[in-house]
Structure 1
């Protein structure tokens, strides 16, 4: 993927194995925008940021494809949120109920139960006609496997897609994974379905983006993040919407997770995501 375009050079990042690339190798552009295959066959599968299966259950057949980064729905394409999305947690459903099409932030220090809230919400969607997409970014492979096992034991994988890029994955794929998950959720939303997407977590995606940006010699800003790190998350979270009646009234509800350090919610990434989400 091309990230830098200057008068005398182009900055690109590798999306896969680069063992065959050497100094002096010729590189050609495909002339296409990055896209992934999409279909119902992805339900119940574990895939990576390039939509390739990593669960050892064979290839996934798909006849359609979708751009990894599509423009968010405009004002005319949306309607007001009026249907509830039950999390199964009484404290949330009674005090701060979530509507289908909203963006609600789960924020806290490590080991405070952020992933537990997200996974409980997915488990509670059984029988609710909601398709769930769980994004695991920069986590331990054992933690991701534990979440997948929980989903399988409770029968939640029937309506769930897990997109995982673990801690040993290249920064480029950790950066890309949330957009892949969002593209899959958008596909179902435009198929007049209700979807729930969990970004676990956006702090690690921002760190991966910072690594890429510094390697590309882009000028760093606050906390060494690039100046457009706000746009990195805003274009991702803004894709959550309740579609208008002309588009079938599907919905995409987003629950992004952000990890804080020592409860500091005034840090750069937490304040950015707080300002984008509904609450």
Structure 2
């Protein structure tokens, strides 16, 4: 082919490209560059941020529009980019990604955009009771909400008594790696089984969504196995965007989980969504942003990193009675480095949430489970999210523990302590021991009330510190076997009456005489 013929062919191609119907360019485009999971696309003149597009390639891969530039748009590819090449056509699909929601998702494991990956029956738009919802929706306005006033029990004594979580609250779980953050979250999910079994009407049940972001698939498999063995998958959906999944999938996963939870909230039911964890979510978004050539900011995160977390967590709410009275409770998890809660992402999420449960490495290494630092941990909802029975027995514990922690550091340097200080230290040690519990071990509200009652009424002072949990376990076992009516009355009335208090004193004093730590 001579140069003249080649020039004519190029001119004809350019002319035909320029004469392309403008209406076509509104909803169609052409890939001009693809690399590192990012595609540059010419055309799609009417496209909006967060729109979904489909590439005309053998795998029909989809992408998410994140950049709108002068002569092109930046698209992050949801999946593999291996089959996409320059010149491929791109067409508009929807303004936002959409996911399946509804009760058919309970007991299922889905990927970051809601597609089942557990090998069970497929879920389609025709599946009974399935609803399709956009993963981007505005947070409920103030008028549609109601102040948080109902407890969302985690089954963990230290949390339910000192750092209570209410339905519709956002409570951050924060700490270094390997301090038990995931164990706290799993315990909260497992505890809902007891609550759901006692629910007198279906709308009192709590449905759980566990979002795994950037974790190993082996860890996810262990989680699903644990939930299945404990019967918790009946009311739980697991959303997985593993470490091997592309960054866009990890970015979308928490929004998918939130949308599934919103279905229950907006239909007058209660849901709990756990984001494990948002540190990896932020890293995935940073990766996409840097590849899209967005300017880096503090710690190389993009300027809108606060917005992506706030628009996610603000969707947690307790709805007003006019809106059905449903709720969506959020437990985001953040991983710190060397206990630094003043880093960029931790401070961002702390400022968005309604309190934090801080898990400390030092306490964890001492064998305290859960390793909660009571001084730094806080719930901004506080006693508004507690039943009266819990309030009655937990009032002075936080102060006693705070005084104990402060005095403990001084007592290590002092050789001679007065009697009142020794008593304070002994009480603090026993209360700390009382609040210990094993991973995935949960207690009902009435069991927590009795355990705390034993602590605040001074019965533990008659027990060796090594036998505190043994004695509490013994009392629990005896009360279940011989005085179930006490547990039932506390559950029904949500308060400790004078009559119940007298019964408890008499029961514990009788069993105190019979208690043998070796047999127990």
Q: TM-score, normalised by structure 2?
A: 0.53
Stretch moving more, 119-128 or 261-270 = 119-128
Are residues 1:175 and 2:251 paired?
Answer: yes
Residue among 151, 158, 162 paired with 1:95: 162
Distance 2:245 2:183 in 1: 23
Are residues 1:21 and 2:84 paired?
Answer: yes
Alignment-derived partner of residue 351 in structure 2: 275
Alignment-derived partner of residue 139 in structure 2: 72
Deviation at 1:164, TM superposition (A): 0.5
Residue deviations 1:187-246 (CA, integer Å, cap 9, x gap): 111011100000000000000000000000000000000000000100001000001111
Q: Secondary structure of 1:196's match? A: strand
Stretch moving more, 115-124 or 55-64 = 55-64
Are residues 1:122 and 2:198 paired?
Answer: no
Deviation at 1:31, TM superposition (A): 4.4
Alignment-derived partner of residue 100 in structure 2: 37
Deviation at 1:84, TM superposition (A): 0.2
Q: For the pair shown, which has the larger CA radius of gyration, 1 or 2?
A: 2
What does residue range 205-244 of structure 1 map to in structure 2 within 5 Å?
Answer: 205-244=281-320
**Would the alpha carbon gap of residues 36 and 215 (structure 1) be closer, same or farther in structure 2, given more than 3 Å must change?**
same
Alignment-derived partner of residue 186 in structure 1: 262
Q: Secondary structure of 1:124's match? A: helix
Alignment-derived partner of residue 252 in structure 1: 328
Distance 2:83 2:69 in 1: 26
Alignment-derived partner of residue 240 in structure 2: 164
Residue among 54, 61, 68 paired with 2:117: 54
5+ long unaligned stretches in structure 1: none
Distance 2:235 2:156 in 1: 20
Alignment-derived partner of residue 435 in structure 2: none
Alignment-derived partner of residue 173 in structure 2: 106
Alignment-derived partner of residue 482 in structure 2: none
Deviation at 1:26, TM superposition (A): 1.4
Distance 2:250 2:113 in 1: 11
Distance 2:79 2:268 in 1: 33
Deviation at 1:38, TM superposition (A): 1.4
Number of equivalences: 279
Distance 2:231 2:122 in 1: 22
Deviation at 1:140, TM superposition (A): 0.8
Are residues 1:82 and 2:153 paired?
Answer: no
Q: Secondary structure of 1:118's match? A: helix
Q: Secondary structure of 2:143's match? A: coil
**Would the alpha carbon gap of residues 117 and 188 (structure 1) be closer, same or farther in structure 2, given more than 3 Å must change?**
same
Q: Secondary structure of 2:83's match? A: coil
Distance 2:118 2:131 in 1: 22
Deviation at 1:28, TM superposition (A): 1.4
Residue deviations 1:111-143 (CA, integer Å, cap 9, x gap): 000000000000000143100000000001111
Q: Secondary structure of 2:92's match? A: coil
Distance 2:189 2:293 in 1: 40
**Would the alpha carbon gap of residues 251 and 31 (structure 1) be closer, same or farther in structure 2, given more than 3 Å must change?**
closer
Are residues 1:9 and 2:72 paired?
Answer: yes
Deviation at 1:272, TM superposition (A): 0.1
Deviation at 1:16, TM superposition (A): 2.5
Q: Secondary structure of 2:215's match? A: coil
Distance 2:94 2:223 in 1: 38
Distance 2:157 2:102 in 1: 34
Question: Aligned-residue CA RMSD in angstroms?
Answer: 1.0
Instruction: Flag the structure with higher helix content.
Output: 2
Deviation at 1:30, TM superposition (A): 2.1
Q: Secondary structure of 1:29's match? A: strand
Distance 1:30 1:146 in 2: 36
